[in-house]
Structure formats: structure tokens, C-alpha cells
Structure 1
Amino acid sequence: MLNSRCKRFHMSTVKLFMNVKSAALGALVYVLVSFGGVAQAQQDTEGQSKQKAVRIESIGQKLIKDFEALAEFFEAENYAEATVILDKIAATPELNNIENAYVANYRGNICFSRDDLNCAIREFKKILVTPDGLPPAFYNQMFYVVAQVYFSQEDYRNALDYAQQWFQTQEDPPADAYMLVGQAHYMLQDYDAALPNVQKGIQKYVELGSVPKEGWLNLLSSIYRQKDDYPNMLPVLKQLVEHYPKKTYLLAVAGIYNELEEQPKMSALYQGMYDHGILVNESELVTLASLLLSQDSYYKAADILKKGFDDGVLKKDLKNYRLYSQALYLAKEYETAIAPLEQAAKLAPDGKIYIQLGQSLMSLGRWAEAETAIKQGIDKGKLDNLGRAVLALGSAQFEQKKYDTAKATFNSAVKFDGMSKDANNWVKYIEAEVYRIKELEKPIVISTDVEV
């Protein structure tokens, strides 16, 4: 009859991947207070199918009311009053082992509730000094409790040590326990040891008919990433997309396609996200445009970049202007490509883009503008091949029939390595052209002398 008055309390469930201060203990810790007489732990003790009969001590009659009051104050989270009663009980002479264990258990829980984890560990470990007189399930579970408190302190090696001791007492550990061990190994960067534990934890959870927790799948994905095992990482990410649809996971899937050199799939996924309005920031639009360019979808890339500029999403900087002009040029929109190329040339730290601009203008027959752009590029400097730029300048001048200027330009190009042959040929060509023109300009003289 007295046993029906037993009290029990539990601590909140720890959630992996939370920070230490907000984490709570992850197992149910029972205060099995049996009043009066001697109880036995029967064969159905949790986790132990063939447990021998164990003598379990009881709380003395004189302390029953104190423990009842203690339980009420604790459940009401009135820890100040609970501590007063604990001090009173602790001062009682000759407490037996179960009484001492319950005192330590309450103190440990109060310490934990106050975020004093060192105190909590100290109190819980007092219970593990001896199993004598304690319910085996209660004693064994304390190894797991200590492991979780160490985990909360980021002391992963001690967490593993106590968790492994607890595992030895269990026939069928729950999924959460495997996840705790897997997470601890992960934090210690022992990914090979982490993997089977996390896999087992998720498997047990699925076998119960439950969807794997988001944090668990994230952990498994992270392990595969650390091991550069992208083929196995991909289906995990797809599960995250299926059960916890988020943009982050879609982008992660796209990233794995890239790692697996499956750019068409990556491009298709990005295009789908864009069409559904999911891609909204600059880096995402630039990535999509770059992917489309690699897939020869030049018009689509140009349209996306133009809209990005129009919507104010893309910054008007060198990188974006250059990419936009490249997309337009490849789409054979040569005239339209000039404006962004001019902007890029102004922003560039060297004259290379001005030279590219000049060459584009030459291909359009805009010789005067080409001459100006090439001069700007030469003046800005830091060119990869100055001699080649000077030859281009001379060509633009020649096409404008600035023969003397062009000849001087080509003569100046002779001094550059590898340019003398082309430069001299141009000089000869100009001289021949000038001579030809002069000959054409001479008046035609028709002789009137006719021999009879």
C-alpha cells in the first residue's frame, strides 16, 4: 500500500544541436521512492530481461513526510524550499544508500535547473559509487544522465565514456542514445565512429514509423560531407527536402550535383527555384546565370542578369557588368553588350576590359570609338600584351584612313616582343595603300596628238 505513494519526476529531454545553456537532460530520471518495507527489482526491470532479484532499500518511516514535501516543492520548481528540506534530510544520521541516492538525485536536478552543470555532475556521480540497495534501472540510467550532462558541457570524451557504460546495461538502447554517441564522436571529429551510431539511431526511429528528426538528418549529412562522401550525402539531403522543405536544403542538393559534376541537374534545379521565386539574392542569380552560360543558354542568362539589374538585386559592379556583357555577346547581342562592357571597363583596375571593348567596337565597325577605348586601355595599363593592343590601335586608326597616325603607331609596335613582323607588314601595307591612293588621285592626261 505504501509503495503506491511513490513519487517520480523527470527532467526535460535534451535536443541535439542546441547550445549548451539551453540544452536539458535527455533521459527520464526516476526518483523511485518506496515507503516502508523492502522491495525487490523484478525481472521486468527496463533494459534487463533476466535480472536477478535485488534487495532494494527503503526510505525510513521518519523521513517519508520530508520526502513527500520535497517532491511537492521540486515539482512546483520551488527550489529554495526544496533545498531547505534536502539539507534537513542530509543532516539526518546514518542515512541508508537509497536515501543518500535520492538526496543526490534531487540536488543534481536542482543544480542542473540552475545551469550549474559541474554541481549536477558531482551530485549524480555520488549515486554511481555503489549500486547497493538501488533499483537497477535507476542506477544504470544514471550513467546515461551523467553522459548527457557532460555532453551539455561539451566534454565529449567523458560523455562517451559514461554513455558506453550505460550501453553495456541495455539490451535495446533507444534511438536518442545512439544519436548522442554519434554526435559526441562527430564533435571529436571521429567521423568513422560517428557514422554507424547516427545511422543506427535514424534506422531505429524509422522502424517505429516516425520521420527522422531534422537535426538527425542534418548530422548524418554533415558526417558524409566531412568524409567527402557526396553520393551518400545526396539522398539524405533529398530526405530533408521532402520532410522539411527549405531553400537551404534545395541549394545544398544543387551544391552536391556540382560536386558530382552533374551540372545539368544543378542548372535545372536552380532554374526551377528561380521560376518559383525562390532565388532572390545576388549570389544565387549570378550562380544561375553562370550555370546557364555553361549550358549554352546565353539568352536566358542575359535575361536573368538584366532583370537582376532592373530589380536592384544585382550590384552595378565590375563582376556583374562583365558577366552580363559576356552573356549578351555570346547571345550575339553585340550592340547591346557594349554598354555593360563600358561600365565594366570604367570599374576595372586595369585596362584589359577597355581593350576588349575596343575589339568589340571594331567588330561592329565603330572605328573611332574603338580607337578611343583602346587608348584608354593602354593609358590605364597593366595589360597582358601591350604590343598586341598597340597593333589593334593602329588597325582602328587605319580603318579611319588616319594613315600617318596608324603608320606611327605600327612603327612604335616594332619594339614589342613578337610584334615586329606584323607591325612591319602593316607599315608596308600602309605605304602601299598611300601610294595607291596617290596614284589614283593623279589627273588622267589624254593625249590629243594623233598620227595620220
Structure 2
Amino acid sequence: MGLVFTSASLTYAYGQDVKASDKKTRKVPTLRAKVYEQLARAQAAADEDDTAQAIAILDEVEAKKGSMNSYERAMLYNFYGFIYYNAEAYDDALASFAQVVEQQPIPEAFELTTLFTLAQLNLMQGNYGQSIHYLERWEALNTGPVPPKNLIIKAQAYYQSKEYEKAEKYITQAINDHEAQGMIPDENWLILQRAIYYELKQPEKVKAVLVKLVKLFDEPKYWLQLAGMYGELGEERKQLAIMEAAYQQGYVTSSADIFNLAQLYYYHKVPYKGAKLMAQAMKEGLLEENLRNLKFLGQSWILAKEQDKAIPVMRQAAQLSQDGELDAQLAQILLNAERWDEAIAAADSAIQKGDLRNPGLVHLVKGMALYNQKQYANALNQLAEAEKHQKSRAMAQQWKRFVETEKQQQERLSLELSS
């Protein structure tokens, strides 16, 4: 927010009728020529960026302040404040501007502008209570409507003071008043309103503000934040719709957002879109080929019934995994694809790595693959291992009976052929 200064130009103050204000007559002394000349010297030094010289001139003037009237002293301190602010000596600027409004009488327009400057500068310096204090002094002096800019500063000060209900009152009034005049609210006003509603734990209102931000400013971040809010509110279908619209506009570019959209596709039973999105992002280097991403990509291809695409991805993920869980999943996929040797190799890798949620299932898969290779004895050994685990026991026993029957038939056939 830019600081609004009372004019530092002396042409504003010298040689004009300063006895009347916009609202009522206030008798104000005039700025005399000898004071004007000294302040003009300080202004000239300030214009040449000679801050030290400007301050030194003002110090000379201040030494004689006992002989100056209220308006002259106010102009003196206003110049101090202006010069200190430009030198980024903000505490000194604040102290100087505060002195301006303590010199009475001064023109009301001058006082109002300085009070507003004090409210702004105190807000910038984190003096939120003082910012509100000067705004209230401004309101007490002003007789017209309160402009939105004043309400915004008040809302900011209350927000920073964690008085969110008061902040909400002023930000909403500012936005409503602005919109009532047919004007679009400033983007930062809506950002502040959204933050206030978030702190007040009013997600529906946060969402409403984000909808407005999307419509008015169409920034990628607002689309993504709106999608996130729909997710928080449990409106996952709208979340997916907004994310997909954002993606189509080129707004989904970060790895986190790409993964989030892929997850939404997965959970809404459109895994092919999610897998395609992730595969393309990996190809373009937008998504890292790490364990988490490869595992989810593989699972998406599996759910999409794209086994040929799932196998190389799951194999790559399994190679990165310290436990055997992904090797076990890969073994099942390879078994279903009737790639017996590869299924056996993946099962062996799973058994070797260990830390399996269902170790019996791996032995069962290996046994079934061995059976399909007509290695009945080895298959029975694996089925016996599977039988030791409760989760796979029933199926292992069924397969064991089936394989034993097949083994016996094969042995009989071999005897018949050899006799």
C-alpha cells in the first residue's frame, strides 16, 4: 500500500487562505515568509537527496519553534516526516507526523491527510492499535462517508491483531460499498477477506471469495485454491471439475498439482486420464520418477486395465523399494499376464526383500506360476509354504489338491508312455 503524504510542496501552504475548511470555519494562522524561506531551503536540499543538509536546516528552524505559530510548526514536522520517510527512518517519520496533528489549530484537510498517513505508516510498522487509533481520530473529524481505503486499513489492522470478527466487518463493508458503486474490488481486498474467513473457519465463505477471484482475475493460483476448498468441503466432483479446467488452461504445472489431479482421476474412477497425465509429466521432466510417483502410476495403469503399461512402471518402482511389497504386486500382475518366468523372478525378489503384508500370497503366486510351467514338485513346495499363512491357507490347500491331481495324472501318463 502506498503511503499518502500531505503535500511537501510549500506552494500548497503559502499565500493561500487557510482559515476555512471544507466542513466548517477553523481559524488558522498563516505561514509567514521567513518560515517559508527556511522550509523552502530544506525542501531544495531534500530534492537534491541531501538528507543530512535538509535535516540540519529543519533543526535550525525547530530551535526557534517558540516563536512559531501552530500551522508553521505543523508544516515543520510534516517536512521532518517526509524527509525521514524517504530516508527509510520510519520511526522518526512516525514521531514527526504524530507531532503534526498535535499542533492546533491547523487546516482540517491537512489534519485529515496526516491522520491517514499516520494510520498507514503505523500499519506498515506493525503498530496496529495505533493505526486504528488514528483512523478513529480521522472518523471523528470527518463528517462525510468513510472511504473504502480507510475501512481496508482498519480491516488489516484488526486482522493482524487477530481480531478477525472486527476485521470481517470492515473488509465486507469496504467491498460491499465499492461494488454498490458498480466498481470491482481490489484484488488484495478479496485476498484479505479470504484470509479472514479462513481464520474464522468459514470455508463456504472462503469458497465464495475464491469463486469471485477466479471470475474477476483468472489467476492460476485461484483456480487451484478453489479446487482445494471444494476438496475440504467434500465436494470432490467439483474439485475434479475445477482442477481439470485449470489443467486445460495450462495452470496445472507443479509436481504437487499434477499428482493431486492424478489422484482425483484415480479416486473418481478415471485412472486412464490420471496415468496418462503422470506419464506425460514424467516424460517432460515435470514429475520426478521417484518411488511414490512410479508406484501410483503403476497402480493407475493397473486400475485402467493397461497391464502392458503397468508392468515396466511397477518393475521400476519395485527396484527403488526397500521392501518386497511392490515385487509381490508385480508378481501377481505378471502371473495374470501369463509371463511365468518373470512372475517367479518377481516373487523371489519379494521373498528375499521381505517385510510383506501377506507373505503367503507370494508363495501362492510362485506356486501357480511353477504349476503353469509343469514344475509340479516345486509348485507343491511353494503351496506348502503358502499353507502356513492364515490369509492364503484356504486357497493354497485348494491349489495343492489340484496340483497333486495334475502331478499324479502326469506321472501315470509318463508310466504309460514308457511301458
TM-score (norm 2): 0.88
Q: Is 2:377 aligned against 1:404?
A: yes
Equivalent residue, structure 1, for 2:141 = 169
Aligned residues of 1:29 and 1:145 also touching (Cα < 8 A): no
Q: Is 2:14 aligned against 1:25?
A: no
Aligned residues of 1:393 and 1:409 also touching (Cα < 8 A): yes
Distance, in Å, in 2 between the alignment partners of 1:444 and 1:253 is 74
Cα shift at 1:445? 12
CA gap 1:78/1:201 in 2 versus in 1, 3 angstroms: farther
- Please, which of 207, 227, 239 is the counterpart of residue 212 of structure 2? 239
Aligned residues of 1:29 and 1:141 also touching (Cα < 8 A): no
Distance, in Å, in 2 between the alignment partners of 1:264 and 1:293 is 12
Cα shift at 1:340? 0.9
CA gap 1:323/1:217 in 2 versus in 1, 3 angstroms: same
Aligned residues of 1:35 and 1:61 also touching (Cα < 8 A): no
Moved more, 391-400 or 57-66: 57-66
Moved more, 180-189 or 165-174: 165-174
Distance, in Å, in 2 between the alignment partners of 1:39 and 1:380 is 89
- Please, which of 205, 209, 224 is the counterpart of residue 251 of structure 1? 224
Tell me the C-alpha RMSD between the 2 structures.
2.9
Partner of 2:389: helix, strand, or coil? Answer: coil
Q: Which runs of 5+ in 2 are unaligned?
A: none
| Superposition pairs of residues 281-320 of structure 1, within 5 angstroms | 281-320=254-293
Equivalent residue, structure 2, for 1:136 = 108
| Superposition pairs of residues 52-451 of structure 1, within 5 angstroms | 53-74=25-46, 79-92=51-64, 93-131=66-104, 133-171=105-143, 172-417=145-390, 419-443=392-416
TM-score (norm 1): 0.82
Aligned residues of 1:298 and 1:327 also touching (Cα < 8 A): yes
> Which one-letter code corresponds to 1:359 in the other structure?
Q
Moved more, 402-411 or 59-68: 59-68
Per-residue displacement from partner, 1:118-141 (whole Å, max 9, x unpaired)? 11122222234353x322332344
Distance, in Å, in 1 between the alignment partners of 2:385 and 2:244 is 51
Partner of 2:27: helix, strand, or coil? Answer: strand
Per-residue displacement from partner, 1:316-344 (whole Å, max 9, x unpaired)? 22222222222222222222321111111
Moved more, 169-178 or 56-65: 56-65
CA gap 1:61/1:281 in 2 versus in 1, 3 angstroms: closer
Equivalent residue, structure 1, for 2:20 = 41
Cα shift at 1:353? 0.9
> Which one-letter code corresponds to 2:37 in the other structure?
K
Aligned residues of 2:156 and 2:167 also touching (Cα < 8 A): yes
Partner of 1:129: helix, strand, or coil? Answer: coil
> Which one-letter code corresponds to 2:13 in the other structure?
V
Aligned residues of 2:39 and 2:76 also touching (Cα < 8 A): no
Per-residue displacement from partner, 1:3-61 (whole Å, max 9, x unpaired)? xxxxxxxxxxxx1xxxxxxxx5235457763559x95334x23xxxxx4x432122345
Distance, in Å, in 2 between the alignment partners of 1:292 and 1:422 is 34
Per-residue displacement from partner, 1:99-155 (whole Å, max 9, x unpaired)? 222211111111111111111122222234353x32233234433322222112122
Per-residue displacement from partner, 1:289-348 (whole Å, max 9, x unpaired)? 222222322332333233223333332222222222222222222223211111111112
Distance, in Å, in 1 between the alignment partners of 2:223 and 2:391 is 52
Aligned residues of 2:315 and 2:327 also touching (Cα < 8 A): yes
CA gap 1:423/1:331 in 2 versus in 1, 3 angstroms: closer
Q: Which runs of 5+ in 1 are unaligned?
A: 1-14, 16-23, 46-50, 447-452
CA gap 1:445/1:164 in 2 versus in 1, 3 angstroms: closer
Distance, in Å, in 1 between the alignment partners of 2:391 and 2:235 is 42
CA gap 1:327/1:207 in 2 versus in 1, 3 angstroms: same
> Which one-letter code corresponds to 1:369 in the other structure?
E
> Which one-letter code corresponds to 2:123 in the other structure?
F
Distance, in Å, in 2 between the alignment partners of 1:76 and 1:241 is 46
- Whose helix fraction is larger, Structure 1's or Structure 2's? 2
Distance, in Å, in 2 between the alignment partners of 1:209 and 1:424 is 78
> Which one-letter code corresponds to 2:252 in the other structure?
L
Partner of 1:173: helix, strand, or coil? Answer: coil
Aligned residues of 1:66 and 1:89 also touching (Cα < 8 A): yes
Partner of 2:19: helix, strand, or coil? Answer: strand
CA gap 1:105/1:442 in 2 versus in 1, 3 angstroms: same
* Equivalent residue pairs, number: 415
Aligned residues of 2:4 and 2:113 also touching (Cα < 8 A): no
Distance, in Å, in 1 between the alignment partners of 2:108 and 2:252 is 56
> Which one-letter code corresponds to 2:60 in the other structure?
K
> Which one-letter code corresponds to 1:26 in the other structure?
V
Partner of 2:285: helix, strand, or coil? Answer: coil
Partner of 2:287: helix, strand, or coil? Answer: coil
Cα shift at 1:237? 2.4
> Which one-letter code corresponds to 2:325 in the other structure?
K
Distance, in Å, in 1 between the alignment partners of 2:106 and 2:362 is 90
